[in-house]
Amino acid sequence: MTAETEEAEWARLMLRIRDDRDADAFAALFREFAPRVKAFLMRSGSTATVAEECTQDVMATLWQKAGLFDPTRASVTTWVFTIARNRRIDTIRRARRPEPEDLAWGPEAEPEPAEILERQQETDRLGRAIAQLPPNQRALIERAYFGDLSHSEIAAETGLPLGTIKSRIRLALDRLRHQMT
Amino acid sequence: MKHMTITHHLSDDLLMAYSAGALPEALSLVVATHVSMCPDCRAALAAHDAVGGAVLGTCGEAELAPDSLEKTLARIAATPTEAPPPKRDGSLPGPLADYVGGSLSQVKWRTLAGGVRQAVLPTDRGATARLLYIPGGVAVPDHSHRGVELTLVLQGAFRDETGRFGPGDIEVASDDLEHKPVAEPGPACICLAATEAPLRFAGLIPRLMQPLFRI
């Protein structure tokens, strides 16, 4: 399976969890994502024991908050990232994480399958763009998202989402904007 | 709230820091509140989150405990259904409403000089968040600050050396900006502000008052 069809398959599994509370779909996503979440948390500085606990928490949250998953707004990988990041703040930094509330979007249109596919593939394209960055730039982005950089360090690296990433973000932004207005 | 025109937005470094989870709680609160009001910044945040997703997608896999899935299922079974969030009346954006008991009328204001009122919100120590109520035509005391200062307008408007800020607009001020915001004549200006470190007021009296009022 190519990476792009993989993301689309994960989105289908996620929708089965959201709409049908499908335990098999959950087990399948667990096998895909729990090892990544644990690796992510360990790269963020957690011990294996804490990372294991947190990973179980993150995956339980994925089940409990499945109703909030919207395949037109985020890929499954991105959605899992936001849950793992929030858990890292909660558990490891012991702080609260204020989250934006949903805006009123107007009448909900039935999402286009193409739109969903587009959104699901974005993460993969960004991943490839990051992989192509010079090693020092790539390391900076990774360190930021592993939680190793403070805000002032990020601010000092003006233009951190540099070059390729920046144009990728810009593209993603334009698509999102187009969808949301 | 849907039809306001927002002209002052969050900077890329703040969006990225919020997306990466690097901001102290008080700054996160202002960012989350602005994003709740601003479709542009919401879209920009989604793009930054997608970068986080890409990083998660490429950071490899760690070996799980053998009973990891079973334990997760047990966690799910043991979790009670979540309590509904506190009632909000729509007078404040969601993330902020949760910090003041649900609505603007619940805010416990303290009066400062000149009819200015403020309410410090409970956040962790890395930064301070407060609501400010500035009567029309009144100036916020002259101040400078260490680190970044975010000021988000909820109602009314203010002007300072850098421009006009109306509902939904956010001013991102670095520590070298010594500015003097003045509320526009008319209805009071209500803002949510956060500073990385305590404010330093330029005048002697405000400085003496600072420990008393935590501003």
CATH of the domain at B77: 2.60.120.10
C-alpha B59/C-alpha A22 separation (Å) is 28
C-alpha B185/C-alpha A178 separation (Å) is 37
**Distance (Å) from the C-alpha of residue A154 to the closest C-alpha of chain B?**
6
Order of strands across the sheet that contains B163-165:
B163-165, B158-160, B182-183
Instruction: Give the CA diameter of chain B.
Output: 66
Residue B166 has pLDDT above 90, yes or no: yes
What is the per-residue pLDDT for B1? Answer: 47
Q: Which of A27-36, B31-40, B166-175 has the highest mean pLDDT?
A: A27-36
Asked if B45 lies within 8 A of A100 by C-beta distance, the reply is yes
- Give me the CATH number covering residue A29: 1.10.1740.10
Asked if A147 lies within 8 A of B21 by C-beta distance, the reply is yes
A67 Cβ neighbours under 8 A, 6+ residues apart? A18
B20 Cβ neighbours under 8 A, 6+ residues apart? A85, A144, A145, A147, A149, A154, B48, B52
Q: Mark out the alpha helices in chain B (DSSP H runs).
A: 12-20, 25-37, 39-57, 68-78, 94-97, 204-213
* Residue B62 φ/ψ region, left for φ over 0, alpha for ψ in the -120 to 50 degree band, beta for the rest: beta
Asked if B51 lies within 8 A of A130 by C-beta distance, the reply is yes
**B contacts of A103 (beta carbons < 8 Å):** 2, 36, 39, 42
In a domain, B64, yes or no: no
| Host H or E run for residue B153 | strand B149-155
C-alpha B198/C-alpha B215 separation (Å) is 6
Q: What percent of chain B has pLDDT over 90?
A: 55
Point out which residues pair with B171 in neighbouring strands.
B151
Q: Say if A43 is an interface residue toward chain B (CB within 8 Å).
A: yes
Q: Which of A22-26, B58-62, B83-87 has the highest mean pLDDT?
A: A22-26
Q: Say if A68 is an interface residue toward chain B (CB within 8 Å).
A: no
Asked if A39 lies within 8 A of B48 by C-beta distance, the reply is no
- pLDDT-wise least confident of A15-19, A64-68, A123-127, B57-61: A123-127
Half-sphere exposure of B12 (CA within 13 A, CB side): 15
Residue B184 has pLDDT above 70, yes or no: yes
**Distance (Å) from the C-alpha of residue A20 to the closest C-alpha of chain B?**
16
Asked if A95 lies within 8 A of B24 by C-beta distance, the reply is yes
**A contacts of B17 (beta carbons < 8 Å):** 144, 150-151, 154-155
More confident residue, B129 or A180: B129
C-alpha A123/C-alpha B175 separation (Å) is 35
**A contacts of B44 (beta carbons < 8 Å):** 173
Contact A165, A141 (CB under 8 A): yes
What is the per-residue pLDDT for B96? Answer: 94
**Distance (Å) from the C-alpha of residue A16 to the closest C-alpha of chain B?**
17
**B contacts of A39 (beta carbons < 8 Å):** 59-62
Q: Name the residue with tokens 């899935």.
A: B69
Q: Of the candidates B139, B143, B140, B205, which has an alpha carbon nearest to the alpha carbon of residue B178? A: B143
Asked if B53 lies within 8 A of A147 by C-beta distance, the reply is no
Contact B142, B160 (CB under 8 A): no
User: Quick one: average pLDDT of A60-73?
Assistant: 92
Side chain identity at residue B143, one-letter code: H
**Distance (Å) from the C-alpha of residue A14 to the closest C-alpha of chain B?**
16
Point out which residues pair with B183 in neighbouring strands.
B158
C-alpha B37/C-alpha B95 separation (Å) is 11
User: Quick one: average pLDDT of A85-89?
Assistant: 93
Residue A178 has pLDDT above 90, yes or no: no
Residue A53 has pLDDT above 50, yes or no: yes
Contact B27, B35 (CB under 8 A): no
Domain with A64 in it: 3-180
End-to-end CA distance of chain B: 29
Q: Say if A178 is an interface residue toward chain B (CB within 8 Å).
A: no
**Domain tally, chain A:** 1
Q: Of the candidates A122, A157, A16, which has an alpha carbon nearest to the alpha carbon of residue B20? A: A157
Domain with B167 in it: 1-59+69-215
Q: Tokens for B184?
A: 């526009």
Four-residue CA torsion sign, A47, A53, A57, A63? positive
Q: Name the residue with tokens 């600050």.
A: B145
- Average pLDDT of chain A is 82
Q: What angle do CA B4, B13, A88 make, to 5 degrees?
A: 100
Interface predicted TM-score (ipTM) of this complex, two decimals: 0.86
**Domain tally, chain B:** 1
Asked if A63 lies within 8 A of B76 by C-beta distance, the reply is yes
| Host H or E run for residue A13 | helix A3-20
Task: Determine the residue among B72, B73, B88, B145 to mutate to test chain A binding: the one whose Cβ has the most chain A Cβ atoms within 10 Å.
Answer: B72
Q: Which of A77, A98, A147 sits opposite B95 (nearest CB)?
A: A98
**B contacts of A173 (beta carbons < 8 Å):** 43-44, 47
What is the per-residue pLDDT for B143? Answer: 64
